[in-house]
Structure 1
Amino acid sequence: MAWWKAWSEAKGKSVTGALNFDPVPDAQTLYKAMKGFGTDEQAIIDVLTKRTNMQRQQIAISFKGQFGKDLIESLKSELSGDFERLIVALMYSPFKYDAKELHDAMKGVGTSEDVIIEILASRTKAQIKEIIKAYKEEYGSDLEEDIKSDTSGYFEQILVCLLQGERDNEYFYVDIALARQDAETLHAAGEKIKGTDEVQFITILCKRSATHLLKVFEEYQKLAGKSIEDSIKSETHGSLEDAMLAIVKCTRNVHRYFAERLYHALKGAGTHDGTLIRVIVSRSEVDLNLIKAEFKHIAGKTLSSMILDDTSGDYKTALLNLCGSD
């Protein structure tokens, strides 16, 4: 399943929200949960993990109107650790949340390249435009300029190219002659020469539609006798390799891509909580049920069972609520 199809899958949502929704009593429940000594974490979980993002935004407006307080700031002052991080993430609108994650990935010393790759490789053209807008509104700076100042070389080039959002123009008609030509160009830019012409790889991977790229990958396999993934692994390295592979994975099957991200976040010692929170929050109203099915294929166990083993307390309860039943 090509990556751009994911956004029309109604059955993919693990969070569907409350029927007969009324933000006023929800805001009151949250206020009571945080008022006085101690916090009723379960009440916060019951409200915020069982509402859609749009409903949460209305609760925040009602909370401010009734109690004169900002809901995000109130939650931050009452909660802590990964549980706080998860609950606060739920309160951001999707584009503001992506903008925040990109900003956090670049601020301070070092850059979390994997976060930038994940977001830019998996979002549609329309979504990227909204993220750029939200980033400017929230941080007063230009996302492209910030990426340029934080990265360099071919890695910078591929990210800037992804920001243009050209590759999801949905042409269902595939020009087979052009797909073969692209496959030949990629082959000539990598396997056939000493060294690699990275610019050709970047241009084709970032500027062609998903349907077209699937045909290119097929033709490349025939021509080179190996998959495009294998060639990328042998021709590139580091963050550039990661970015190229993410584009290919998202093109082939975006649900599997996110399932792999979750699996690597949970397996082994320790948990990559940032990835776990971001993927579950950002996909819960998009395609998390489809991601869960792919996760089971990869891990041989359910996402819920790995969350049960790897997390604890209110954080675990909230994550499991967002994941829904297996």
Structure 2
Amino acid sequence: MFKSLNVTARVFERQIVQPRPSASVNSVRQFYENFVPSCTIYDIDCPDNSFRKFTDDGKYLISFSRNHQELIVYRPTWLSFSYNGEDCDSDALSQRAKRFDSFFIHLYTVSLATSNEFICKDVFLYLEGLEFGIFATSTAQTHEVPATEGAVNGVQCIERIVFHLVRLEDGFVLDEKVFCNDFVNLTHSMGVFLHEDLLCIMSLRYQAIHIVQIRDSGNLVDVRIVGTFCREDDELFIGSHIQVTEGPIFLSGIKQRLLSYIFRKHWSEETDQTLVCHPDIAFFHFCVSCLTNFIFKI
């Protein structure tokens, strides 16, 4: 049923409509949506923190210390002051209304980073049902690092990256996921994605996607790594059907699957019947086309 947001219509509806049993409180709370700020207070006595954001449910305000090594969490007190009049002026309010602690309660301060690590302020993922928060700390980036086995040449390297699972209710660190000598793009959380209870972390240095499950108990459990092999039995299948040679694999599993999808799409759109009837010839033309595009891009 359509419900109007107009406050006059809501008052009229409250007079003529009888709410369901034990639901009168919810109908009254709908009027809170019509309360909007009418005054802005400037020059607030605010802590010297780097404020990040509110959680999706509005229960917590996430901030970091200026040295980006401590997590500082506040809880908003919501409606704190009101003004009985038409034109509200900040000077008419009490001096307490100009203090930060009049609107927020400091819950705790937790040290996440060590002496040579810093909190990445762009990374914050929130599990609303469990009230868990995911934060990231890392050391400084290094550019001239020799590529180890499985790593890609020319990709930056970070000595240590740690993902922290924090219970926001009391600030207890439940679990950690550590990456050593790797590179994850933490800017704007581009290398980290959360879907329900699955956390995906993309490693650019090793061209792999780490899928981690967040349990209700607060544990980070490794589910799968999509990189050299995509499925669980890929390594067994390749080892039993193909003669394995020493040295790195030419293409990782995820690259092979992407190229196969591109080839199948290219083959399905092919109009030349000679190429359609001979997949080997079509694959040769596909390789030549890819190589030509690669040369022109260079």
TM-score normalised by L of structure 2: 0.24
Higher helix content, 1 or 2: 1
Decide which structure has the larger Cα Rg and report it.
Answer: 2
Higher strand content, 1 or 2: 2
More contact order relative to length (CA 8 Å, sep ≥ 6): 1
TM-score normalised by L of structure 1: 0.22
